[in-house]
């Protein structure tokens, strides 16, 4: 899609020839007055999973009067220009509404530099009779590294003067300038990349008669790609989502391998299940601490600053990260990944491996859905925590299969079923998290006390937090005791299993 | 957030304050609308926009109309202007009989309010129906005060006016402007007044010829006298207001 808006015409063009010649053509065509050329260096910032790009937005950093100027565009319009001392890494690094706004897109993800262009740019303005700019135009000769891009011309509309932007667009088309592809895509292509090249979701299509072992291997290869894609970010601690995505991909892998075990030879399944269990296990401590750090601002909003707790968690986090980096650098990790990849390249099959994937997946989902429905229907005030925890794990397995093989069903039915089972899983998950968090905070407080470097305020706040978490858990447990819409879950899966792509 | 720069006394630097605060708000990433409600149109002049509001004061007083199409982008990124119009001098009278009454400005702004993080209103130096409508509209009043008894008296008059009508905004933030520290009276007021007005902002904007030059340059101070004493003061004033408003 080119950078255009239907009502204004194309707003980005490219032209052959040197910068000054293009500037002259643009000035003549539009009546815009050029300013002197200036050097530019622009870096696109986005999260690893392209959250801004996915929302139709771009965030570009360039040197500015305060240090860095951020240009945040939504579609072709400027959304915000922000002068800051340094480019933000997280949304929280931006003060005020801009930070809140960015947080809605990024959540906890970090901004990463995706590509940089540098060169010369000439700003031009079309001004009205009072001397105010009514259209901004820029002509730029840019390069990505050594790779020069064709000279680009970009029109930036000014609110209240769309007619003038439309006029400038028309004039440039009449002057034989060619509408251009968006600069981000062009710059990325120059380095062999493209935006949106990472997605933690594995969504594949399957042929009706595709043998199960082949289809499941394709899914597992997709999940392995997610694991590998997140290794570097986890190692460099860019943000907590790298490890999260890595762990979710491992968990989905283990779940699929467990649920569809009969697709592969039993001995291979046993070996790889054990290796993947280890991978899940060694990544747990850091993730637990990540979650605690992410929850900490909310805890502190409730009970006040937890200074010593925060320090101890940060200390443990640093240790856990070093340990995880050592794991990722270890022979065992490399061999686990290589051996798993080699297995996924085979075509060995277990008892169900040659059967069509459709039949295999439907049978398994049917069985899991029945168990989940029965478990959900049985929830009452007496249900023991272990049973709720097991039900949560079951719901998660069902959800993973539903999502990974969604293309075998009607899309709306698949989406509805996944949403319902996710709701059950989330509710039970929050309960489980609360059950774990309280004792964890107590353990931290005890550790601080044992070290003798904690003051009474910190301890009292930690105590208040434990109390609040427990009360919240009990409230949630009471709400669960009122029952869950197991019938809704049943209907959703009946619809799903009766549907086809 | 809607903030009005107001003092019923003229010549206290309201427009310079509104223009420069709007600039610094925009610079720090706030999508900002400067609404020039003063029929003299000085803020509009500073941004080189024609002082023309189609429909004039009637447009603001009439129910069911909005101001979207009248808004103009300025040469400062993130900063748009809703221009003044000389016919706004009749706004007081029109609001007197307007169906929406005090709420008229709220209705006029509502359709575009979501486009902005901050709406700064440059008010006319008067007190009446327009003032009531502004007080109904805003979250905060920023009140430039010259450190002299007559100027301070207008602050008391404003406070009494707002309290009588039960229209006191959440924040009323006076600050000293046109300060000449060579004058003993200014020194004295600077030292004593904050105790009487605990919400008073600590930033004081000095008297500076650069501020007067704004009307010649027709642009905000920072774009031609960056880091001058007055620019630094407006920068600090914005930071302080931002901190207060949260």
Higher pLDDT among residues B63 and A107, named by residue: A107
pTM: 0.88
Q: Would you state the structure tokens that stand for residue A106, as one six-digit string?
A: 């990024």
Among A84, A97, A133, beta carbon nearest to B117: A97
Question: What is the pLDDT of chain B when averaged over all its residues?
Answer: 90
For residue A98, the chain B residues in CB contact (below 8 A) are 28-30, 117
Contact between A130 and B48 using a beta-carbon 8 Å cutoff: yes
Q: Over range B187-207, report the average pLDDT.
A: 89
Residue bearing tokens 């909005």: B66
Residue of A59, A64, A81, A101 for testing the chain B interface, max B β-carbons within 10 Å: A81
Phi/psi region, residue B85 (left: phi>0; alpha: psi -120 to 50; beta: rest), is: beta
Minimal Cβ distance to A159: which of B48, B80, B242: B80
A3 band by pLDDT with thresholds 50, 70 and 90: very low
Question: At A337, is the pLDDT very low, low, confident or very high (cuts 50, 70, 90)?
Answer: very high
Whether the pLDDT of residue B132 is over 80: the answer is yes
CB of B17 within 8 A of CB of B34? no
> Does the CB of A2 have a partner CB in chain B at under 8 Å?
no
Q: How close, in Å, is residue B54 to chain A by CA atoms? A: 13
| A459 Cα to chain B: minimum distance (Å) | 30
**Mean pLDDT, residues B2-23:** 93
Q: How many residues does chain B have?
A: 246
Q: What is the pLDDT of residue A33?
A: 93
Give pLDDT, residue A421: 93
Confidence label for A274 from pLDDT (cuts 50, 70 and 90): very high
pLDDT above 70 for A4: no
A92 touches chain B (CB under 8 A): no
Determine the length of chain A.
501
pLDDT for the residue A449: 85
- Beta bridge partner(s), residue B174: B143
CA distance B224 to A308: 48
Burial (0-12, 13-18, 19+ Cβ within 10 Å), B104: buried
> What pLDDT shows up at residue A5?
45
Is the Cβ pair A160, B117 closer than 8 Å? no
pLDDT at A384 over 50: yes
Give the Cα separation of B68 and B103 in Å (integer).
17
Which pLDDT band, with edges at 50, 70 and 90, does A89 fall under? very high
Most B CBs within 10 Å, among A79, A88, A128, A132, to test the B interface: A132
Contact B72 A158 (CB under 8 A): yes
Burial of B16 (C-beta count, 10 Å sphere; 0-12/13-18/19+): buried
Chain-chain contact of B71 with A98 (C-beta, under 8 angstroms): no
The nearest alpha carbon in chain A to B71 belongs to A160
- For residue B37, pLDDT over 90 is answered with yes
The CB-side HSE value for A338 (13 A sphere, CA atoms) comes to 7
Q: Which residues pair with A60 in a beta bridge?
A: A44, A71
Of the candidates A15, A38, A40, A41, which has an alpha carbon nearest to the alpha carbon of residue A27?
A: A15
Sequential DSSP letters for A396-463: HHHHHHHHHTGGGS-HHHHHHHHHHHHHHHHHHHHHHHHHHHHHHHHHHHHHHHHHT---HHHHHHHH
Beta-carbon contacts of A330 under 8 Å, excluding residues fewer than 6 positions away, are: none
Q: Tell me chain A's radius of gyration from C-alpha atoms.
A: 28
Mean pLDDT of chain A: 92
The predicted structure's pLDDT at residue A1: 30
Mark out chain B residues that contact chain A at CB-CB < 8 A.
26-31, 47-50, 69-75, 77-78, 80, 117, 218, 226, 242
A91 and chain B in contact, CB less than 8 A:
no
Mean pLDDT across A107-133? 96
pLDDT value at residue A330: 96
CB contact under 8 A, B30 and A97: yes
- Digit-coded pLDDT (tens) for A208-226: 889 999 999 999 999 999 9
Nearest to B71 among A80, A132, A159 (CB): A159
Q: Are B12 and B176 in contact (CB under 8 A)?
A: no
Mean pLDDT of A20-42: 95
> Residue A458: pLDDT band by 50, 70, 90 thresholds?
confident
SS3 letters for chain B? CEEEECCCCCCCCHHHHHHHHHHHHHHECCCEEEEECCCCCHHHHHCCCCCCCCCHHHHHHCCCCCCHHHCEECCCCCEEEECCCHHHHHHHHHHHHCCCHHHHHHHHHHHHHCCCCEEEEECCCCCCHHHHHHHHHCCEEEEEECCCHHHHHHHHHHHHHHHHCCCCCCEEEEEEEEECCCCHHHHHHHHHHHHHCCCCCCCEEECCHHHHHHHHHCCCHHHCCCCCHHHHHHHHHHHHHHHHHC
Residue B60's pLDDT band (cuts 50, 70, 90): confident
SS3 assignment, position A501:
coil
Q: Which residues of A touch B226 (CB under 8 A)?
A: 65
Residue that wins the pLDDT comparison between A480 and A46: A46
Give the pair of three-digit tokens for residue A322: 């070093």
The conformational region for residue A164 under phi > 0 = left, psi -120 to 50 = alpha, else beta, is alpha
Cα–Cα distance, A234 to B126 (Å, whole number): 62
Give me the sign of the Cα torsion angle A288, A294, A296, A298. Answer: negative
pLDDT per position as a tens digit, B84-104? 999 888 888 888 877 767 888
Copy the structure tokens of residue B177: 């402007």
**Residue B40: what pLDDT?**
92
Query: For residue B121, what are the β-bridge partners?
Result: B4, B35
Containing A151, the helix (H) or strand (E) segment is strand A151-157
pLDDT of residue A445: 86
- What value does the mean pLDDT take over residues A309-326? 92
pLDDT tens, A140-170?
999 999 999 999 999 999 999 999 999 999 9
| Cα–Cα dist A76/A161, whole Å | 14
Whether A157 contacts A8, CB under 8 Å: yes
Q: What is the CA radius of gyration of chain B?
A: 17
Q: What is the predicted pLDDT for the residue at A299?
A: 86
- Phi, then psi, of A46 in degrees rounded to 5: -160, 165
Interface size A-B, in CB pairs within 8 Å, comes to 63
Q: Over the range B173-186, which residues count as b (16 or more CB within 10 Å of their CB) and which as e? A: bbbbbbbeeeeeeb
Mutate which of B3, B21, B29, B31 to test chain A, going by most A C-beta atoms within 10 A? B29
pLDDT tier at A2, thresholds 50, 70, 90: very low
Instruction: Tell me what the mean pLDDT of segment A273-285 comes to.
Output: 95
């Amino acid at each position: 899609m080119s950078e255009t808006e239907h009502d204004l015409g194309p707003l980005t063009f490219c032209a052959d020839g040197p910068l000054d010649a293009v500037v002259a053509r643009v000035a003549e065509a539009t009546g815009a007055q050029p300013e002197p050329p200036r050097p530019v260096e622009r870096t696109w910032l986005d999260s690893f999973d392209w959250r801004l790009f996915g929302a139709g937005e771009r965030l570009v950093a360039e040197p500015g009067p305060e240090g860095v100027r951020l240009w945040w565009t939504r579609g072709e319009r400027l959304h915000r220009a922000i002068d800051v001392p340094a480019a933000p890494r997280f949304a929280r690094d931006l003060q005020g509404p801009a930070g809140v706004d960015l947080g809605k897109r990024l959540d906890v993800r970090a901004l990463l530099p995706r590509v940089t262009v540098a060169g010369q740019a000439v700003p031009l303005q079309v001004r009205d009779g009072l001397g105010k700019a009514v259209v901004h135009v820029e002509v730029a000769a840019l390069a990505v590294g050594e790779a020069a891009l064709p000279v680009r011309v970009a029109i930036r509309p000014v609110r209240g003067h769309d007619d003038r932007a439309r006029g400038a667009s028309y004039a440039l088309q009449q002057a034989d300038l060619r509408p251009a592809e968006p600069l981000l895509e062009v710059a990325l292509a120059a380095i062999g990349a493209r935006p949106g090249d990472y997605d933690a979701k594995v969504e594949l299509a399957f042929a009706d008669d595709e043998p199960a072992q082949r289809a499941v291997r394709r899914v597992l290869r997709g999940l392995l790609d997610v694991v590998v894609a997140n290794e570097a970010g986890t190692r460099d601690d860019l943000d907590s989502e790298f490890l999260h995505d890595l762990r979710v991909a491992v968990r989905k892998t283990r779940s699929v391998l467990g649920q569809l075990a009969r697709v592969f030879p039993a001995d291979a399944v046993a070996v790889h299940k054990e290796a993947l269990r280890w991978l899940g296990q060694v990544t747990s401590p850091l993730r637990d601490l990540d979650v605690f750090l992410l929850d900490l601002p909310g805890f502190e909003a409730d009970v006040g600053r937890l200074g010593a707790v925060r320090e101890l968690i940060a200390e443990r986090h640093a240790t856990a990260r070093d340990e995880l980096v050592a794991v990722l650098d270890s022979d065992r990790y490399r061999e686990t990944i290589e051996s798993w990849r080699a297995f996924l390249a085979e075509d060995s099959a277990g008892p169900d491996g040659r059967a069509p994937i459709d039949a295999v997946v439907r049978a398994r989902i049917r069985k899991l859905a029945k168990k989940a429905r029965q478990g959900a229907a049985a929830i009452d005030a007496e249900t023991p925590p272990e049973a709720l925890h097991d039900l949560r794990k079951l719901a998660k397995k069902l959800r993973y299969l539903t999502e990974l093989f969604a293309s075998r069903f009607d899309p709306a039915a698949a989406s509805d079923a996944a949403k319902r089972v996710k709701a059950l899983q989330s509710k039970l998950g929050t309960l489980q998290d609360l059950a774990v968090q309280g004792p964890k905070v107590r353990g931290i407080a005890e550790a601080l006390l044992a070290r003798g470097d904690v003051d009474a305020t910190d301890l009292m706040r930690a105590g208040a937090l434990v109390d609040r978490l427990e009360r919240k858990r009990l409230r949630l447990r009471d709400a669960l005791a009122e029952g869950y819409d197991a019938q809704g879950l049943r209907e959703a899966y009946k619809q799903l299993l009766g549907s086809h792509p | 957030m809607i903030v009005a720069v107001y003092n019923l006394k003229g010549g206290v630097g309201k427009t310079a304050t509104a223009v420069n605060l709007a600039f610094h708000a925009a610079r720090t990433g706030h999508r900002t609308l400067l609404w020039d409600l003063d029929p003299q149109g000085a803020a509009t002049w500073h941004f080189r926009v024609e002082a023309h509001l189609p429909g004039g004061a009637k447009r603001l007083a009439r129910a069911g109309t909005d101001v979207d199409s009248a808004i103009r982008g300025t040469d400062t990124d993130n900063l748009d202007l809703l221009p003044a119009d000389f016919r706004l001098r009749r706004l007081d009278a029109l609001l007197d009989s307007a169906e929406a009454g005090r709420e008229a400005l709220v209705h006029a702004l509502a359709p575009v309010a979501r486009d902005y993080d901050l709406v700064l209103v440059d008010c006319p130096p008067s007190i009446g129906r327009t003032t009531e409508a502004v007080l109904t509209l805003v979250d905060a009043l920023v009140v430039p005060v010259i450190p002299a008894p007559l100027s301070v008296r207008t602050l008391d008059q404003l406070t009494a006016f707002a309290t009588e009508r039960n229209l006191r905004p959440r924040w009323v933030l006076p600050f000293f402007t046109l300060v000449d520290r060579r004058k003993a009276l200014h020194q004295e007021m600077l030292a004593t007044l904050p105790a009487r007005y605990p919400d008073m902002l600590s930033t004081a904007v000095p008297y500076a010829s650069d501020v007067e030059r704004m009307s010649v340059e027709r642009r905000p101070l920072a774009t031609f006298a960056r880091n001058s004493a007055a620019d630094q003061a407006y920068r600090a004033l914005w930071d302080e207001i931002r901190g207060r408003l949260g």
